[in-house]
């Protein structure tokens, strides 16, 4: 029954594409040429095509930039063989994933986009992948004219108010992952069994209790590093700010961690930096204390290990990430560390100041130098909208990576993680209607989501695009200070914390931080006027 339904949906998609593309003329492309023209062909749907159909007679290879380490067990290649057979049949194209691996990913990603390399599809995010900054550098093609023709289902599916949040200089720069339910608010994943052993019976909702937990690990779990983090992770300061202020991070990248926030939800148009008041001093003191107590490795700033793998192996007691990661790790840990009862301390639990993520937390853009923009969007449309392609990209091969029972996904008998695991890290267009529910979802997921829904506030900066032009030099200099001085403060390796913070602030001032803040405030004032005038 399921396979018949899937086939019917795929046929329906092909028919919709045929109708949508019939009699359309090819829009002018922005900055590149393409061999796709509005002439007759049968390749797009496998059916006889009327006059005016897009020409897909020339086979094309489409690249897609993904974040993550390339899988090494051979399953990825097996799945992509199936994906590419379908893409060849439907749009006469092949998909190649271009991986940006996690080691030094921020630098590699931004350098790739700045290089002018002719990549096609690009995973983007306005809140963690510098999308607006890269748009300002001309990294992407506008999509306004292309989408209605080459991705018509997606074009109609995304409402106008959501497209509005994807625009830079009034042009669409990305396709949002706006139809996928997820929570990406961060916190600490920790072992519930160990917390109980240390006398912590209630959920952890503050950093003082977390310290008690870490001390319990240090005292009672020989050979276990309480938090086996490394100096390239800046999540602890962002989390502390979330827990002890009502500040909302602005989509302005300053490297390892963000320096600039909106004051609060009620004062969302007031630029604020918690690094200039006691928030950062208190944090620095706490991290110095934790480092001195041995809550992480002595060589934390040079350590490059995988914190999550260490958690799964029972060699550390926490991992810092978001809700979606927690839900997946809860299931993994139940198998890898039976009885661990993995729990989650959302940073917002301290003050119940949860802000929903931006709908552009995940998305896909089109490279400015793409040689095949039209075909690239046709491939994207199939990945997002065609159930068969979607499930291959997200779940792998039925019978190998998953089986379906009562409409839910389960691991096949004999599934081995190292041998059989597949992932493509497609985070730029998942969609609820094509999802197959995970039969192994943690039983507490619904209650957790419901608790979030009770307190959440909408993300207020979806349409705020910071123009760094007037302060480009200052922003670069400030980012360099963050990279050079930040890690040592974050992990208590900068000596006296008060002096370290004072030195950090002095360096920021020299770099032009005051001018940068003034420009942010100026643009927030203009943003406020625009928002209020649109009501």
pLDDT tens figures, 208-246: 999 999 999 999 999 999 999 988 889 999 999 999 999
> CA–CA distance from 248 to each of 242, 279, 337, 461, 501 (Å)?
8, 14, 36, 9, 22
Looking at the structure, do residues 280 and 376 belong to the same domain, yes or no?
A: no
Give start and end residues of each alpha helix (H) in 178-258. 192-197, 207-220, 235-244
Whether 193 maps to a domain, the answer reads no
Instruction: Indicate the residue among 434, 459, 484 that finishes a domain.
Output: 434
**Is 397 domain-assigned?**
yes
Whether residue 476 lies inside any domain: the answer is yes
How high is the pLDDT of residue 31? 36
Domain assignment present for residue 49? The answer is no
Are residues 271 and 370 part of one domain?
no
Q: Are 146 and 250 members of one domain? A: no
Q: Print the domain residue range for 282.
A: 229-304+467-535
What is the pLDDT at residue 10?
A: 45
CATH number (domain holding residue 386):
3.40.190.10
Tally of domains in the chain: 2
Q: Enumerate residues 6+ apart whose C-beta is below 8 A from 25.
A: 38, 52
Q: Is 62 part of any domain?
A: yes
Question: pLDDT tens digits, residue range 463-516?
Answer: 898 999 999 999 999 999 999 999 999 999 999 999 999 999 999 999 999 999
pTM: 0.76
Residues 429 and 480 in one domain: no
Residue where a domain terminates, one of 387, 417, 434: 434
Contacts with 444 (C-beta within 8 Å, 6 or more apart), sequence order: none
For the chain, list residues with pLDDT below 70.
1-52, 535
Task: Please check whether residues 392 and 290 belong to one and the same domain.
Answer: no
- Give the per-residue pLDDT at 35: 34
377, 411, 434: which is the final residue of a domain? 434
Identify which of 185, 216, 218, 188 has the alpha carbon closest to the alpha carbon of residue 203. 188
> Based on the domain organization, do 67 and 161 belong to the same domain?
yes
DSSP H helices in 61-189: 75-91, 105-114, 131-136, 147-150, 152-157, 160-163
Position 453 scores a pLDDT of 94
Does residue 419 lie within any of the structural domains? yes
How far is residue 50's CA from residue 232's CA, in Å, rounded to a whole number?
Answer: 55
Residues 398 and 490 in one domain: no
Query: Are 500 and 494 a contacting pair, CB within 8 Å?
Result: yes
Is residue 458 in a domain? no
The answer on 366 and 294 residing in a single domain is: no
Whether 62 and 171 map to the same domain: the answer is yes
Flag whether 440 is in a domain: no
Same domain, 77 and 141: yes
Between β-strands 248-249 and 261-262, what pairing exists: parallel, antiparallel or unpaired?
antiparallel
- State whether 62 and 132 are in the same domain: yes
Residue 400 and residue 476 in one domain:
no
For tokens 């920021």, what's the residue?
508
Q: Residue 438: exposed, middle, or buried by beta-carbon count in 10 A (0-12, 13-18, 19+)?
A: middle
């Amino acid at each position: 029954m399921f396979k018949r339904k899937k086939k019917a949906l795929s046929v329906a998609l092909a028919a919709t594409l045929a109708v949508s593309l019939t009699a359309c003329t090819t829009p002018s492309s922005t900055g590149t040429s393409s061999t796709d023209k509005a002439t007759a062909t049968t390749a797009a749907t496998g059916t006889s095509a009327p006059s005016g159909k897009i020409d897909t007679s020339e086979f094309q290879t489409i690249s897609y930039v993904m974040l993550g380490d390339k899988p090494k067990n051979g399953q990825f290649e097996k799945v992509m063989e199936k994906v590419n057979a379908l893409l060849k049949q439907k749009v006469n194209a092949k998909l190649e994933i271009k991986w940006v691996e996690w080691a030094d990913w921020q630098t590699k990603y931004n350098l790739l986009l700045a290089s002018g390399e002719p990549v096609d599809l690009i995973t983007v995010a306005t809140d963690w992948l510098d999308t607006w900054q890269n748009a300002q550098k001309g990294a992407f093609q506008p999509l306004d004219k292309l989408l209605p023709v080459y991705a018509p289902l997606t074009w109609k599916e995304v409402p106008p108010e959501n497209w509005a949040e994807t625009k830079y200089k009034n042009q669409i720069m990305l396709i949002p992952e706006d139809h996928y339910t997820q929570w990406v608010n961060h916190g600490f994943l920790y072992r519930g069994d160990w917390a109980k052993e240390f006398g912590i019976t209630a959920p952890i909702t503050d950093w003082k209790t977390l310290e008690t937990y870490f001390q319990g690990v240090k005292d009672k779990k020989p050979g276990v590093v309480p938090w086996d983090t490394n100096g390239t992770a800046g999540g602890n300061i962002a989390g502390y700010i979330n827990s002890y202020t009502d500040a909302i991070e602005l989509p302005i990248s300053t490297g390892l961690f963000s320096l600039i926030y909106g004051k609060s939800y009620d004062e969302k148009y007031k630029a604020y930096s918690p690094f200039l008041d006691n928030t950062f001093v208190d944090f620095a003191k706490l991290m110095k204390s934790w480092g001195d107590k041995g809550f992480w490795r002595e060589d934390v700033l040079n350590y490059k290990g995988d914190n999550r793998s260490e958690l799964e192996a029972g060699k550390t007691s926490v991992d810092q990430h978001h809700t979606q990661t927690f839900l997946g790790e809860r299931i993994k840990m139940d198998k890898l560390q039976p009885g661990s009862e993995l729990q989650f301390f959302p940073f917002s639990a301290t003050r119940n100041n949860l802000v929903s993520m931006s709908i552009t937390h995940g998305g896909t853009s089109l490279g400015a130098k793409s040689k095949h923009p039209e075909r690239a969007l046709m491939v994207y449309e199939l990945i997002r909208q065609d159930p068969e392609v979607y499930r291959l990209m997200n779940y792998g091969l039925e019978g190998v990576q998953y089986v379906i029972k009562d409409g839910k996904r389960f691991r096949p008998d004999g599934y081995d993680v190292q041998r059989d695991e597949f992932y493509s890290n497609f985070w730029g267009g998942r969609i609820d209607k094509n999802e197959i529910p995970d039969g192994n979802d943690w039983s507490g997921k619904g209650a957790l989501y419901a608790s979030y829904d009770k307190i959440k506030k909408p993300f207020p900066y979806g349409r705020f695009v910071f123009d760094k032009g007037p302060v480009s030099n200052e922003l670069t200099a400030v980012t360099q200070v963050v990279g050079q001085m930040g890690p040592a403060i974050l992990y208590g390796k900068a000596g006296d914390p008060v002096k370290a913070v004072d030195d950090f602030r002095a360096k920021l001032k020299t770099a032009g931080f005051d001018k940068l803040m003034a420009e942010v405030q100026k643009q927030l004032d203009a943003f406020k006027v625009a928002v209020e005038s649109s009501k």
